[in-house]
Amino acid sequence: MTRGTVAPEISSRVRSIPPSPIRGLAPLAEAAKARGIHVIHLNIGQPDLPPPPGVAAALAAAATQPPVYTASQGIPQLLDAWARYYERIGLAISPEQVVATGGASEALSLAVLATTDPGDRILVPEPFYAPYYGILAAAGVELVPIPAPERYGPVTPQAIQERLGPRTRGILLCSPANPTGTLYERDQFAAIAELAREHGLFFYSDETYRELVFRGSRAASALEMPGLEQHVIVIDSVSKRFNACGLRIGALISRNPDVIAAAVSLAELRLSLPLPAQLAAAAALEAPATYVAEVVTTYRRRRDAALAALARLPGVHVVPPDGALYLVAELPVDDAAHFAAWLLTDFTHHGETVMLAPLSGFFATPGAGRNAVRLALVQPEPVLEHAAELLGEALARYSGRTT
Amino acid sequence: MTRGTVAPEISSRVRSIPPSPIRGLAPLAEAAKARGIHVIHLNIGQPDLPPPPGVAAALAAAATQPPVYTASQGIPQLLDAWARYYERIGLAISPEQVVATGGASEALSLAVLATTDPGDRILVPEPFYAPYYGILAAAGVELVPIPAPERYGPVTPQAIQERLGPRTRGILLCSPANPTGTLYERDQFAAIAELAREHGLFFYSDETYRELVFRGSRAASALEMPGLEQHVIVIDSVSKRFNACGLRIGALISRNPDVIAAAVSLAELRLSLPLPAQLAAAAALEAPATYVAEVVTTYRRRRDAALAALARLPGVHVVPPDGALYLVAELPVDDAAHFAAWLLTDFTHHGETVMLAPLSGFFATPGAGRNAVRLALVQPEPVLEHAAELLGEALARYSGRTT
């Protein structure tokens, strides 16, 4: 490298992070709005539902407290609230087994940094929550995709086993999954747990959407797998089930004390989480079970309405999600990313358009997900039905239509 | 590695992070308090002063807003507030040159990840803010210490030049410095800036304590160095000058658009910062100049009181700080870390003791700082004077005394 006249350059690891499939279209949406177009946002998992009433009360109370540093692991009130929440859903977790984090994102970041070194690999079923790729890349860790089976079902232990190597440190699963709503049954979880045990792997389980399921009361948890106490690291969040994304509070949960100690030593580097958000998240976690049940009922109604409306569109195939708050639609287009951009740049119908997330951004395998989009169920049924009509109108006009 | 029966292990990078010199003594302090002992905390830079009144008002207003995701770079209101704050102190920074972060810690983390790959090196004058080491280690980056000159003065360009190598990506400075209060004059900054330009290095400038100086109105800023727009990344925070640590809001500032784009793409991985804290930090940044001036006056009085009180203790040598809110005292003891622990486990005087931060934790060079401690000026003068008396009493009784 010639030094002296050359400006320093940004890192390779950052250049390897693909642009966010959600955020990349944002400037196009802003431009559409500037032209007076009404954009229906189905592109981002930003719930439109109100958080439990305790959240606003806790924030108001926090306003009178001095904004001081708190314990890096989280304030005792928040760790206790997590433990009580887990007790209510039938999982024995003590406050010492919880590290409060800045959302599920920081929980995964701490989990990865605590358990991997640069050059290590983590296996992840495709499609996956898009930021996984960058969170691993920032840590110098390679995301090894496990291609999705037909219809985005759970991956098989066989598919995992085939991709194990000497640098494989673990398996990262999300159930129910963002973006597909795929739900792993207990026996499917157990088979993967067995692999983790056999090969000495970490089992990173993103359970952000745990209760948001359309059969049963909650998804199977990696914390229920016997003999896997040293392997399981659960990623959790108050964002979705309590509609409190903007608090940015999640948690890393593990029964492995070394993992907790490592995560705390990493958390100490950022000293603490904001106090007001911690107090508000503790209040959210104390919400009655009826609160989450109503959230699930709302998403079930929306899913059913969206499925029915999309079924009316020729050439559109939808995979009915078993949980979470998204659905994946395969569209009769050459390139769904191009189509999603076109919706914002070229299409309007009575002054309206719709914003979708191209599914390609949720894959590491080049070319995968090219004909699909993710829709977030973050609008009331009439809006979802109306958005489906707009989508039908757009598909009828789009020049890259394939069928 | 034998797999199957072996539990997976935590990462080497985490094991390389030394225990926090501040947090490591915390259990001993808790135990002392449980025995009924009053512990005077001089160990942590947690200001005891109130934040600007606008902070509480902003938090109260935020309580009524839904807790939603916001822009990853920060809400426009906060980015604008940073830009206006910079304008008031005479530095031209636009909102587009700011990335709002979770404290100075996340700002440094983003700066390092944006500009380094695993195996790279960053030069850091010793002693340094202890978490620097772990923040770099988590990123797989080696902290190369530049040993402190006599009396903890600014390091020379010569000392930096001697340690440059092919993997050196930049120089990380803090002025005024935590823990020593060392202040780099403009010409000292300029000489280092020249080195950065000549060798194509990033100049990471931690300016958290910018206005907290005991001569002049503020410290020299790396942003004032001509021709260094592509090299300078400033780490900033509302924590200290606005007494708002618990909001956990800082900023990364750069005029290099590639650095900003890289930092934003990393910030997108954690989606956003908490909304209430962003609104409150924006309010803090609008505090009148008289607010910060009063903070500085308070710390100057405290520094002078502490210097006078410590000067009365035989064998204790204090380096008068030129800024920040700490001072380093060299003690006549064999091992200041042991002494600091002993203060909590074995010493009391009329039911009281004092908690200090051993300086060894602020060094990467083994054995350095062994006879010194950092005191934080986070107590009123009478308490600082009383704490100095307690320290004198303790030194008189301590068996590891050297002079």
Tens of pLDDT, residue by residue over B305-356, are: 999 999 999 999 998 999 999 999 999 999 999 999 999 999 999 999 999 9
Residue A4 scores a pLDDT above 60: no
* Cβ contact, residue pair A66, B59, below 8 Å: no
Q: Flag the least confident range among A26-35, A292-301, A348-357, B17-26.
A: B17-26
Span A158-168, pLDDT tens digits: 999 999 999 99
Please name the member of A67, A198, A231 whose beta carbon is closest to the beta carbon of B4: A198
Please check whether residues B22 and B63 belong to one and the same domain. Answer: no
Please check whether residues B221 and B263 belong to one and the same domain. Answer: yes
Please check whether residues B109 and B227 belong to one and the same domain. Answer: yes
Please check whether residues B155 and B177 belong to one and the same domain. Answer: yes
Residue A2 within any structural domain of the chain: no
Q: In whole angstroms, what is the distance from residue B313 CA to residue B310 CA?
A: 5
| Mutation for B interface: A12, A65, A68, most B CBs within 10 A | A68
Residue A104 within any structural domain of the chain: yes
**Does B67 reach chain A within 8 Å, measured CB to CB?**
yes
Please name the member of A55, A62, A102 whose beta carbon is closest to the beta carbon of B270: A102
Tell me the sheet residues that pair with B155. none
**Does B265 reach chain A within 8 Å, measured CB to CB?**
yes
Residue A402 within any structural domain of the chain: no
Set of chain A residues whose Cβ sits within 8 Å of the Cβ of B105: 269-271
Q: Which domain holds residue A344?
A: 13-49+290-397
How far from the centroid of its chain's Cα atoms is residue A103's Cα? 10
**Which residue would you say has higher pLDDT here, A44 or A377?**
A377
Residue A1 scores a pLDDT above 70: no
* Cβ contact, residue pair A244, B67, below 8 Å: yes
**Does B70 reach chain A within 8 Å, measured CB to CB?**
yes
CB distance A341 to A295 below 8 Å: no
Residue B198 scores a pLDDT above 70: yes
- Helical (H) or strand (E) element with A174: strand A168-174
Q: Write down the mean pLDDT value for chain A.
A: 95
Please name the member of B117, B268, B274 whose beta carbon is closest to the beta carbon of A247: B274
Residue A6 within any structural domain of the chain: no
Cα atoms found within 13 Å of the Cα of residue B370, Cβ hemisphere only: 10
Tell me the sheet residues that pair with A309. none
- Domain end: B263, B287, B311, which one? B287
Span B149-194, pLDDT tens digits: 888 999 999 999 999 999 999 999 999 999 999 999 999 999 999 9
* Cβ contact, residue pair A269, B12, below 8 Å: no
Please check whether residues A168 and A25 belong to one and the same domain. Answer: no
Give the confidence band of B5 by pLDDT, cuts at 50, 70, 90: low
Span B23-73, pLDDT tens digits: 779 899 999 999 999 999 999 889 999 999 999 999 999 999 988 999 999
Residues 94-113 of chain A with CB under 8 A from chain B are: 102-103, 105-106, 109, 113
Q: In whole angstroms, what is the distance from residue B182 CA to residue B204 CA?
A: 16
- Is the N-terminal amide bond of A154 cis, ω within 30° of 0? no
**Does B198 reach chain A within 8 Å, measured CB to CB?**
yes
* Cβ contact, residue pair B105, A202, below 8 Å: no
Residue A293 scores a pLDDT above 70: yes
Please check whether residues A31 and A67 belong to one and the same domain. Answer: no
Nearest CA-CA distance, residue A313 and chain B, Å: 32
CB distance B222 to B235 below 8 Å: no
User: Which structure tokens are listed for A47?
Assistant: 């719930």
Residue A381 scores a pLDDT above 60: yes
User: Which structure tokens are listed for B271?
Assistant: 């989606």
Please check whether residues A108 and A126 belong to one and the same domain. Answer: yes
- Domain end: B227, B255, B287, which one? B287
Residue B219 within any structural domain of the chain: yes
- b (16+ CB within 10 A) / e for B286-298: bbeeebbeebbeb
User: Which structure tokens are listed for B275?
Assistant: 């909304």
**Chain A / chain B CB contacts < 8 angstroms:** 258
Give the confidence band of A151 by pLDDT, cuts at 50, 70, 90: confident
Please check whether residues A276 and A364 belong to one and the same domain. Answer: no
What is the total count of domains within chain B?
2
What is the per-residue pLDDT for A3?
44
The domain that holds B371 is classified in CATH as 3.90.1150.10
* Cβ contact, residue pair A17, B202, below 8 Å: no
Q: Strand, helix or coil at A333?
A: strand
ipTM of the complex: 0.94
Please name the member of A56, A70, A231 whose beta carbon is closest to the beta carbon of B64: A56
What is the per-residue pLDDT for A21?
66
Residues 280-319 of chain B with CB under 8 A from chain A are: 280
Rounded-to-10 torsion of CA B319, B323, B327, B330: -20
* Cβ contact, residue pair A268, B20, below 8 Å: yes
| Mutation for A interface: B1, B3, B6, B10, most A CBs within 10 A | B10
Please check whether residues A359 and A231 belong to one and the same domain. Answer: no
Please check whether residues A244 and A312 belong to one and the same domain. Answer: no
Span A117-135, pLDDT tens digits: 999 999 999 999 999 999 9
User: Which structure tokens are listed for A40?
Assistant: 């229906």
**Does B227 reach chain A within 8 Å, measured CB to CB?**
no
Give the confidence band of A70 by pLDDT, cuts at 50, 70, 90: very high
- Domain end: B287, B317, B351, which one? B287
A270 phi and psi angles, rounded to 5 deg: -110, 15
* Cβ contact, residue pair A68, B246, below 8 Å: yes
Nearest CA-CA distance, residue B288 and chain A, Å: 19
A73 phi and psi angles, rounded to 5 deg: -75, -15
The CA–CA distances, whole Å, from B367 to A272, B182, B216, B358 equal: 29, 21, 35, 12
Mean pLDDT over B111-120 rounds to 97
Residue B402 within any structural domain of the chain: no
Report the percent of chain A where pLDDT is more than 70.
Answer: 98
Nearest CA-CA distance, residue B111 and chain A, Å: 9
Residue B253 within any structural domain of the chain: yes
* Cβ contact, residue pair B7, A68, below 8 Å: no
Q: Write down the mean pLDDT value for chain B.
A: 95
Please check whether residues B302 and B350 belong to one and the same domain. Answer: yes
Span B219-244, pLDDT tens digits: 999 999 999 999 999 999 999 999 99
Set of chain B residues whose Cβ sits within 8 Å of the Cβ of A262: 10-11, 14
**Which residue would you say has higher pLDDT here, A297 or B23?**
A297
Report the percent of chain A where pLDDT is more than 90.
Answer: 91
The domain that holds B248 is classified in CATH as 3.40.640.10
Give the confidence band of B400 by pLDDT, cuts at 50, 70, 90: confident
Please check whether residues B126 and B211 belong to one and the same domain. Answer: yes
Q: In whole angstroms, what is the distance from residue A129 CA to residue B18 CA?
A: 33
Residue B162 within any structural domain of the chain: yes
Residue A231 scores a pLDDT above 50: yes
The CA–CA distances, whole Å, from A234 to A148, A154, A204, B34, B272 equal: 22, 18, 6, 33, 21
